[in-house]
Every structure is written in C-alpha cells, then in structure tokens.
Amino acid sequence: MDAQVWCCLKRVCYSVILTVTISCGQHNSGSLIASKTSSKSSVPPISTSGISKLIGDTPLAHNPNVSVGVPSAGLNPEVMISRKQYVISWNHQYRQANFVAWRLSMADMGKVQRQNNFAVDPELHRHLSERGVGRAVEPNEYQGSCFDRGHLIPSADRTANVADNSQTFLMSNMMPQTAHLNRVTWQHLEHHARELVRGTNDTLFIVAGPVFGESPAHIGPDNDIGVPSHNFKIIVKMDKSGRPQVLTSVLMPNVTSTGTDPVVDHDQACEDSHSFQDAGLANDDYADWEQYKTPITTIEQTAGLELSFLH
C-alpha cells in the first residue's frame, strides 16, 4: 500500500467524519468523506481500491478543498492528486482529469497576474513513468488541434500568490475545450463564481470535469487525449446548519460557436480558435450559462461520478 494512502488511513483529525459507502474504482466500493469540525476522533478507513496512487503535498483527509466531501470517480480509473490548491482525480485512459475539486474564498483571490506557464505535472509524470502506465500530458500536445487547453480550476481562482497561480497551469488541470466554450460560456460561469464570493464573502466549493461520449474522438501526437462531448461544473456552499447547498450545476456542450461538433466541423473549430481572443467577458450575455443548468443526478450518470454528499 502506498505510504501516503496508509497515512490517510491512520491519520487522527479534529473532525467528526460522515462516511457514505459509494462505488469507487473498478467494481469496488469506497467511502465518501464529509467532515465537520468537532472534537478529536480517528478518521474511518478511506478505501483506496479505486485509486492506483495518492500523490501531492496535502493529505487527502486534511485537504480543505474537499471538506464538503470527496467525489468518487466511480468505475473510471484514477490517480488522486491532493494539493493545497486543489484535488485532481486523473484518468490515464483519457489522459486528463475525471474531476477537479477546489475551494474558492476571498483569500484565494489577490493581485497576481496570470502566469501562462503551462507545464507537465512533475509528480504525475514521475508516478506514471515509474509505474509504466502512460504519460503525463506535455504543454505542446494540443498544438494543431484547434482545441484550447481549458482550465478546470481557473487561473483567476488562484491569484493570491505566484505559486498558487502556477499550479493551475499544470497540464493535469487541462481538458480539450473549444474556443467558444472556454473563452465565452465557461468563462462567464467562472466569473459568476468569483462575483458570488466577492458579493457575499461566502466560501464556495466547486467540482468540474469532462464528460465523454461512447466513442470519443482523440487529439495529440499519439491520438490519445480524449475530447469531451460536454463539461460539467457544480458550485456548492455550506448553509447555516453546515450542510452542503448546491447553488449551480451545469452540463455544457463542447461545441463550436455555431453549435457544431468541433471534430466533425474542424474548420469552424479552427476559425473560432483564431477569432476568439478571450472575448468572453466582452459579451453582454453573462448569464448564457444558465441555459445549461442540469440536475446533479444527471451529471453523476453522464460523468460516471458519485456525488452522494450533495443529495
């Protein structure tokens, strides 16, 4: 068993832990953890049957980005990356995340500029190289595809310091998005979340990720980076009783500006890529994302995730 996983199993926390049995990994069950501050108690065992490796600088049981609950990747393969900036469930089959989960508060937003320093995820690269189970994505692997390197946790959600912002540019945090989705509708929802925090001083908890069709297209030099048909995002806050309250859940199609499939209509995808210059926030229709509101249960079914802590 991995040493950090064992650490999570044995760790003693100042929390009362709610454990919900869920599907986790290939034909196995796992545990969902939701914590609420209380007196000292031992953390119940965290099933790692679906996690081939737990890496990162922050023990999962102590990671504030998932204090409302840890999503399960269901039957999707995953490497769990637990960092102070976010938690990533990484899928080596599609060479991108199953989901990214993060906390957003006023403390996370400062005056640091966007770093634009796209880079391979060094810890993920080392793990995959040692295990011989695939490769971490390099920054140039989207080149020529006319897809954006679309952030899951946005750069603008981590502007308190340079180190935090740089972590959002690791390629493990990217998924292939059309220019229309990434720079317009998706960007509007990202902006909406930050404005919620600024307007209310609430702390939000966000989960986002890709959804793949039955036979997804692929991009990259080896044609092995899956192209999502849709992207989902769920925004949550804690209510006065300390229970998670879903504010927004959406499922957005990964399409061109004319609504076409970017793989079938590659010319339109490329035209959008060359013409949209981060113009999303110049578009007056900031609420265009609202048309994609979707029930949590539908997102679970289509993304293959377990989000029982939100029901």
* CATH number, domain containing residue 152: 3.40.570.10
Q: What is the domain range of residue 295?
A: 3-310
Label residues 95-107 b or e (16+ Cβ within 10 Å = b): bbbbbbbbbbeee
Threshold 0.75, pTM exceeds? yes
Give pLDDT, residue 133.
84
Exposed/middle/buried for 200, CB within 10 Å: 0-12, 13-18, 19+? exposed
pLDDT digits (tens, 9 = 90+) for 170-197: 999 999 999 999 999 999 999 999 999 9
Domains contained in the chain, number: 1
Per-residue pLDDT tens digits for 26-77: 333 333 333 333 333 333 334 445 667 899 999 999 999 999 999 999 888 8
> What are the pLDDT digits (tens) for 234-285?
999 999 999 999 999 999 999 999 999 999 999 999 999 998 765 544 555 7
Query: In the Cβ-directed half-sphere of 256, how many Cα atoms lie within 13 Å?
Result: 18
